[in-house]
Amino acid sequence: MSILEKEVTHLSVKEQAKAAQMASKTLAGLSEQEKNEALHILADELERQAAFILKENEKDLQNGREKDFTQAFMDRLSLSEERIADFAEGLRQVAGQNDPIGEIVSEWTLDNGMKVEQKRVPLGVIGMIYEARPNVTVDATGLALKSGNAIVLKGGSSALNSNKGIIRVIQQALSKTKIPSDAAQLIATTDRKASAELFTMKEHIDVLIPRGGGSLINTVVNEATVPVLETGVGNCHIYFDETADVNKALNILINAKTDRPAVCNAAETLIVHRNWLDANQQELERALKEQGITVHGDEHIVSTFSEALPATEQEWAEEFLSLSIAIKTVNSIDEAVEHIDRYGTKHSEAIVTEDARAAANFMNRVDAAAVYHNASTRFTDGSALGFGAEIGISTQKLHARGPMGLPALTTTKYCMTGDGQIR
């Protein structure tokens, strides 16, 4: 029986978190080269064991078919040789990114001669809570290990077999490297209570990163005593100001709405200045219709558009994640900012205008991780901004805001060197 055929041993969540913490101490002391070598071995091993992973994935797909999951859900769950090769390529790219660990963030010497160095160090153990996408199992592990952190993964139950298969390959691969196998752990139970233990395990887990829909994220935020890095719900708005250029406006709107409607940086609501709308309504309607976009609007939109449904309170507040859009008419930037203050999720917000002062006013006042003047909200993304792979997009204000790359998985430590200094 190969190691891959063995059952995942039945440790408790606490024992797994403790094992990850022990491993994190070794991992924190490894060099960049040792970590990179390990990531390459991991990548090679994933490709070599693709058939095993696909066999495990097929069990999840079979369950999914029996439970009649949606096509979109099955697409996210489904692996292939090619997707596994993409995972491996992602790990090799992370190996190529700069290692933030050991960086001297600042240094100075006090008058008394004591030297102060603020050094970048790993967080320790990352708890990653996510839904059905098995790619997160690989991506998050790669980013955690490169930044010197151990990781405890808790994926969705519908991908449990796939995740178990992937973690076995990862642990087997790690046993050939300087990184302890225990540095990547999967909580393989479907017991909701057992997994919720993670949320309060402050002595062993340094940060929780929930990735998925709003209800998953809210559950973690509400139950956790471990600090949380909130990611990703994006109820993003595009505001067409009075002086918006028609071509720029429609290009940006269509790109932000249709390029990938299901992602968090897609546009969900168009806010439009009444004067702009009066002049350009036909072109706007035509552009939306050409793309097959369904319009939900306020009273003015419903009464003037040839086809528009009244937008409900929920539709203003939540993501469509599909080819639907809500449209709100306003008479000023103030009204636009108020609407965003009320319904926005502090992710990405854009203004289209030819008036630089209006743009500055909007960008200063809107409270979001990313604000845009005359560009699509789709750029709020680690790779689009040149950060490399990201572990998620933070919509909170503490620690990291916007796309989170490797530095978001680090903290700092003040290291003081003296010669007997006292105060």
Binding to a second copy, residues 380-399 (CB under 8 A) = 380, 384-386, 396-399
Nearer to a second copy, 140 or 350 (CB): 350
* Residue 146 binding a second copy, by CB under 8 A: no
* Residue 104 binding a second copy, by CB under 8 A: no
**Binding-site member from 124, 165, 232, 388 for a second copy (CB under 8 A):** 124
Nearer to a second copy, 89 or 354 (CB): 354
Q: How far is the CB of 371 from a second copy (least distance, A)?
A: 6
* Residue 419 binding a second copy, by CB under 8 A: yes
Contact 256, 238 (CB under 8 A): yes
Interface segment toward a second copy; rule CB under 8 A; list 59-67, 87-95, 298-306, 377-385: 377-385
**Binding-site member from 25, 48, 65, 286 for a second copy (CB under 8 A):** 25
Q: What angle do CA 202, 206, 207 make, to 5 degrees?
A: 105
* Residue 372 binding a second copy, by CB under 8 A: yes
Nearer to a second copy, 73 or 379 (CB): 379
Instruction: Tell me the C-alpha distance between 45 and 193, whole Å.
Output: 33
* Residue 280 binding a second copy, by CB under 8 A: no
Binding to a second copy, residues 326-365 (CB under 8 A) = 359, 363-365
Nearer to a second copy, 281 or 396 (CB): 396
Phi/psi for 133 (5° steps) reads -80, 110
Instruction: Tell me the C-alpha distance between 262 and 279, whole Å.
Output: 31
Instruction: Tell me the C-alpha distance between 39 and 93, whole Å.
Output: 9
Nearer to a second copy, 304 or 411 (CB): 411
| Secondary structure of residue 194 in the 3-state scheme | helix
Instruction: Tell me the C-alpha distance between 130 and 152, whole Å.
Output: 11
Nearer to a second copy, 109 or 303 (CB): 109
**Binding-site member from 371, 389, 404, 406 for a second copy (CB under 8 A):** 371
* Residue 378 binding a second copy, by CB under 8 A: yes
* Residue 103 binding a second copy, by CB under 8 A: no
Instruction: Tell me the C-alpha distance between 384 and 374, whole Å.
Output: 16
């929930």: which residue's tokens?
A: 210
Q: How far is the CB of 412 from a second copy (least distance, A)?
A: 6
**Binding residue count for a second copy, defined by CB under 8 A:** 64
Query: For residue 31, what are the contacts with CB-CB under 8 A and spacing of at least 6?
Result: none
Q: How far is CA 275 from CA 239, 240, 244, in A?
A: 13, 10, 10
Q: How far from chain centre, in Å, is Cα 248?
A: 28
* Residue 29 binding a second copy, by CB under 8 A: yes
Q: How far is CA 348 from CA 108, 119, 162, 256, 391, in A?
A: 37, 31, 33, 11, 17
Contact 128, 154 (CB under 8 A): yes
* Token duo for residue 6: 């063995």
Nearer to a second copy, 63 or 412 (CB): 412
Q: How far is the CB of 6 from a second copy (least distance, A)?
A: 31
Q: How far is the CB of 374 from a second copy (least distance, A)?
A: 5
Burial of 262 (0-12, 13-18, 19+ CB in 10 A): exposed
* Residue 368 binding a second copy, by CB under 8 A: yes
Q: How far is the CB of 272 from a second copy (least distance, A)?
A: 17
3-state secondary structure string across 265-320: CCEEEEEEEHHHHHHHHHHHHHHHHHCCCEEEECHHHHHHCCCCEECCHHHHHCCC
Instruction: Mark residue 231 as left, alpha or beta (left: phi above 0; alpha: psi -120 to 50; beta: remaining).
Output: beta
Binding to a second copy, residues 189-248 (CB under 8 A) = 206-207, 221-222, 225, 227-229, 245, 247-248
* Residue 123 binding a second copy, by CB under 8 A: yes
Which positions lie near a second copy, rule CB under 8 A? 25, 28-29, 108, 110, 114, 116, 123-124, 206-207, 221-222, 225, 227-229, 245, 247-248, 251-252, 255-256, 259, 359, 363-365, 367-376, 378-380, 384-386, 396-399, 401-402, 411-423
